[in-house]
């Protein structure tokens, strides 16, 4: 094999490894988001609040999955937690993003389910096992809440693939 062919092969291998490495590297962006929200209990808006998210978010070059590290606050419910979460497109619908936490406080791990309607973390609905919803808009609450059912101290979801957000 000639020297030029070997150099060409090495360059191709180097380029493939470099491309793979760039694909895996997250580029971090500082994020501070404060979104007005409404607290719903038994289909009634019981309180106005806000959700504050402060930390950093990944920006992968060639992937949709993002990770968020930081602090989540919902003052009306007395929730303040440090978290590291993964934000990924739901298998149910292209416009629904779910958040999976990797280190919420143990008491919060099973208490709240987070559903995002956009990947920018500004449209969302959180639901607790006690039936409390915190939503960034009435529309998202109205669309999401019928798909949540509570049974035996637990919570389940049904027909999430049928969720339609009119603003998307």
Cα 18 to chain centroid, rounded: 29
3-state secondary structure of 14: helix
Compute the average pLDDT of residues 59-82: 73
Question: Per-residue pLDDT tens for 4-52?
Answer: 999 999 999 999 998 887 766 767 788 888 889 999 998 899 999 988 8
Residue closest to 133 by CA, chosen among 30, 44, 70, 63: 44
Q: In degrees rounded to 5, what are phi and psi of residue 28? A: -90, 145
Residues in a beta bridge with 35: 51
Instruction: Break the chain into its structural domains and give their ranges.
Output: 26-162
**Cα distance between residue 46 and residue 63, in whole Å:** 39
Distance CA 129, CA 116 (A): 17
Instruction: Indicate yes or no: pTM above 0.75.
Output: no
Give the mean pLDDT of 70-85: 75
């Amino acid at each position: 094999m000639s020297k030029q062919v070997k150099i060409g092969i090495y360059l191709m291998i180097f380029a493939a490894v470099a491309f793979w490495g760039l694909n895996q590297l997250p580029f971090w962006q500082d994020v501070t988001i404060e979104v007005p929200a409404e607290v719903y209990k038994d289909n009634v808006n019981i309180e106005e609040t806000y959700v504050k998210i402060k930390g950093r978010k990944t920006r992968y070059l060639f992937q949709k999955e993002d990770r968020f590290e930081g602090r989540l606050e919902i003052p009306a419910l007395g929730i303040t937690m440090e978290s590291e979460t993964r934000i990924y497109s739901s298998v149910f619908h292209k416009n629904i993003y779910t958040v999976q936490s990797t280190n919420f406080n143990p008491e919060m791990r099973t208490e709240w389910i987070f559903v995002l309607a956009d990947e920018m973390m500004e449209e969302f609905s959180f639901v607790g096992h006690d039936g409390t919803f915190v939503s960034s808009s009435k529309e998202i609450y109205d669309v999401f809440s019928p798909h949540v059912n509570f049974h035996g101290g637990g919570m389940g979801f049904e027909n999430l693939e049928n969720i339609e957000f009119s603003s998307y």
